Structures are given as structure tokens and as C-alpha cells.
Chain A
Amino acid sequence: MLKNRIIPCLDVKNGRVVKGINFVDLKDAGDPVEQASIYDKGGADEICFLDITASNENRNTIIDVVNKTAEKCFVPLTVGGGIRTIENIRDLLLAGADKVSINTAAVKDINFIKEAAQKFGTQCMVVAVDAKKVSDGKWEIFTHGGREKTGIDAVEFSKKAEAYGAGEILLTSIDKDGTKTGYDLELLNIITNSISVPVIASGGAGNLEHLYDAIKTGGASAVLAASIFHYGEFTIKETKEYLKSKNVPVRL
């Protein structure tokens, strides 16, 4: 039976982790390679790096991080943040990333997904959908960290992304992100029922029950979380044991 995936996400800025893991045995809390390695050993099903480097000059630092991570981690690695060109994707995949997560570039021109999927395969194309509720039962896509409104309907966009070659949708609720009050289950539900590719739930995880709800009620294939893992509130193993006790299929 296919297992639901638990994906810790690390925010990386200029080659350093911003929201670091609060573990005692860390030599360097800012080193993404070391943190990814801990998650790999701890049983994470995939690892995600979100590159929030502001300037283009520092883009190569994430390549270096991915390069080093590929030597130590033997689970799939997804990298997102600032990917604009086919060249950006190629560089990351050659460095050892398995998937890339595309956000703004896909919203600007969905043909970018098509072109990239034809070159590299749909299996490595994750389209990141950042959605915000605008009225009852209606969500819109926002870009630039939730600051810019696009007027694009989140459900329609997700369907289009699938049709253009997204292998997976990384769905973040802007309303819920950082609140630790749980994922937006209504949004998750509507998207998972509208498309046939897997959906990764993101934004709002504050406890283990939230992860359970995203999978059971929201229909998510995978759950992504940052802070609940980083600050040592829960280990990946505890998370999986909890989910298993509630009959969610997980890899233990």
C-alpha cells in the first residue's frame, strides 16, 4: 500500500537555514546539509528546501547546498524558490535535486511548466499553489509571499497546472501559514477532488492531529511542515507513530 509522505521543509537563505532545527546534537544549526541529513536519518520521506535568497548573485549557493546534500541524503529532494528559467531547473537537477517547485514563473506563464515538463519529465515538476480565501468557497492565487493578488482562481489554476505537466501540487494556504492552527481543510478538499495528481498540504501545521486531518479529511497525499519539526516539538518518528496509531499508512 502506498504510504502518505511526511516532508520537512527547510527555509534556506544565502546557503544557511533561516528557521533552524533546535536539536541539541547539531554542530552547526545553520547548515542545511547537516539538518537535511538528520531528517533523512530520522525517517523523513522527502526533504524540501525553500530558497528564499533575495538576490540573483547568491543563486549559486543553493546549488552548492544541493550538491552536498545529494552526497548524504538518499531520499527525494525538492527545491523551490526563485526558479525562473529552464537553466535554473537544469542546474538544480544536475546538482542532485529530484524535483523542483515552481511558483511565480508558473503563475506568470503556465507554458513554462509545459516546456519544463517536456524537457525534464512531469515527475520532477511540482507546482506551488499559494492560495488565499477571497470569499465563501473561493480561493485566489497570490504571489510574492502572499503580497500580490493575481485574480486567478486557485482551483482552475491547479487543474491547468496538471494539464500542463505538473506531477504534483504543493498547496499552501496563505491564511493558515504560520498560524499553527491547522491546514485549510476546505481548500485542500476542493483541490484534491478536482485533480488527479498528488497534493502536498502546506501551511498551518501546529500539532500532529493537523497532519492527520490534512490526510484524512483533506485528502492530501503528503504533508509538509516546518516549525513543528524544527523546534523539536515532534520527531518524524513520533509523527509517524501517531499517524499509524490512527490507521494512516506511513513508512516506519
Chain B
Amino acid sequence: MLLTVVDYGVGNLRSIAKSIEKANFDNNLNYLVKVSSDVNDVKKSDKIVLPGQGSFKACKKGIDNIKGLQQELNESIIVKKKPIYGICAGMQLFATTGHEEEKTKGLNWIPGEVIKLDVTSSKLKIPHMGWNELKVENNSKVFEDGMNNNHAYFIHSYEFIPENKKAISITTNYGKDVIAAVSLGNIFGSQFHPEKSQSTGLKILTNFLKI
């Protein structure tokens, strides 16, 4: 089985690959984890992980810079229904539109908007950075009820708001309920970093591998 971590020039790919390899090894699964920017690897993959760091606009530009990548992602995810996991800005890219820096079109797999985290009503710091508790709203194959009150590592200033509230798997409290994870069919993603969230993160990655 092949899992490709898509290298489109952003993100700490080594940490992500290493954490997936650990989940794979600890559970006696047989994935080959490949970090690659080659569209053919995406095509051959059984599962895909889409990392993301920096602004929505910069991430989308990174995808656009690789010829044929967006088409292959659409083919893999929408037509072939391969499971995908988006991390941080990688998850935000699932949206219809991003509003960071300037209005930018996303992949539109989970209709919705990515907007600035609005906590102006309180004295909270932006970015929302550090460990926060998870509240499971709708469980899915990856995000399960047992993760209630577990901690995960967040670092973000923007939030993905999906139109379909059933797509919201997990929220976390930061002045208000902030969307922490989404699931829609074969599409999964989290605002927090599973690769930096110790046992909770490894459990999430294990669940994703086991789908």
C-alpha cells in the first residue's frame, strides 16, 4: 500500500512522514510512506496526506505550481474516492474560498469559507497556539468519541467554516467553539497537527491508515 505525503513546497514534511511511519509500524500495517511532488505518485497512491503551512494563498499557489497536481487530486479524491487527510492549511484548502491575504479559490471538496479567527471579544492571543482540548461533535472513522477531552497541538490564525455542519467532526474552545477537524466521506482533515499531538495524534493517523 502506498501513502503519499504531497510535497508542494510547504510544511514540515519529515515530522509528518515520521509520525505516519510510527503509526504504521506500531500497528503492523504495510504502508510505504512516500514524500513526493510527483503527480504519478499521487495517482498510484492508496491514501494521500495533504500538509500545509503558511497562508491559504501561498499553499494554493504551491499546488498550482505543480502541473497537473490539482487535476490528479480531484481525480483521486472525488472520482476514485481515495481517503485523504489534510493538516492545518492543507485541510483549509478543502474549502471553496480562502480569505487570507486575498480571496483565493480552494479545492472546493467541502464547501465553505476560511476566515480569520475571530476572538476579538476576549483577551485571547492570535495565533491560537498550543495544546487545546477536543470536543467530538460528529464522530467519523478517523475522529472517534473516545477522543473527547484529549489534547491536540494547534497553531493557526484562520478557521475553516464548512457549510454543512455535519462535516464538523471536532471543535475546540478558544473564546468560542473553533472548528478543529472535519470529515466528509473519504475526506478528513484537522486544524491541529496530528504529527505533533503525541498519542492522540498517532491514534488519529492510525485510524486514517486503517480505513
A interface residue numbers (CB < 8 A to B): 1-5, 40, 45, 67, 70-71, 74-76, 93-98, 120-124, 167-168, 196-198, 221-222, 251
Contacts of B174 in A (CB 8 A): 2
Out of A2, A67, A74, A168, name the residue touching B198 (CB < 8 Å).
A74
**Chain B residue at smallest Cβ distance from A252:** B151
Chain B interface helix/strand/loop/mixed: mixed
Asked if A96 contacts B129 (CB within 8 A), the reply is no
Contacts of B58 in A (CB 8 A): 121
Asked if A96 contacts B53 (CB within 8 A), the reply is no
Q: Known contacts being A93-B12, A124-B53, is A74 close to B201, with CB within 8 Å?
A: yes
**Chain B residue at smallest Cβ distance from A222:** B130
Asked if B196 contacts A95 (CB within 8 A), the reply is no
Complex: how many Å from CA A1 to CA B173?
A: 5
Q: Known contacts being A123-B53, A221-B125, is A71 close to B130, with CB within 8 Å?
A: no
Q: Known contacts being A74-B197, A75-B196, A123-B53, is A1 close to B133, with CB within 8 Å?
A: yes
Out of A5, A70, A94, A98, name the residue touching B130 (CB < 8 Å).
A5
Contacts of A98 in B (CB 8 A): 12, 15, 196
- 19 inter-chain pairs at a CB distance below 8 angstroms, sorted by A residue, are A1-B173, A2-B154, A5-B130, A5-B131, A67-B14, A74-B19, A74-B195, A75-B196, A93-B12, A95-B14, A96-B15, A97-B12, A98-B12, A120-B53, A122-B127, A123-B129, A123-B156, A196-B125, A222-B130
Complex: how many Å from CA A195 to CA B53?
A: 23
12 further contact pairs, Cβ within 8 A, besides A3-B131, A94-B14, A124-B53: A1-B173, A2-B130, A2-B131, A70-B14, A74-B196, A94-B13, A98-B196, A120-B54, A121-B10, A121-B54, A123-B127, A124-B12
Rounded to whole Å, the gap between the CB of B30 and the closest CB of chain A is 20
Q: Known contacts being A74-B202, A98-B12, A121-B55, is A198 close to B130, with CB within 8 Å?
A: yes
Complex: how many Å from CA A96 to CA B198?
A: 15
Check B126 for interface membership: any CB of A closer than 8 A: yes
Complex: how many Å from CA A40 to CA B53?
A: 23
**Chain A residue at smallest Cβ distance from B126:** A196
Contacts of A5 in B (CB 8 A): 130-131
Complex: how many Å from CA A241 to CA B77?
A: 45
Contacts of B54 in A (CB 8 A): 120-121, 123
**Chain B residue at smallest Cβ distance from A197:** B125
Contacts of A93 in B (CB 8 A): 12
Asked if A71 contacts B125 (CB within 8 A), the reply is no
Asked if A2 contacts B128 (CB within 8 A), the reply is yes
Contact residues, B53-107 vs A (CB, 8 A): 53-55, 58
Contacts of B173 in A (CB 8 A): 1
The 3 closest A-B pairs by CB, nearest first: A121-B54, A251-B131, A96-B14
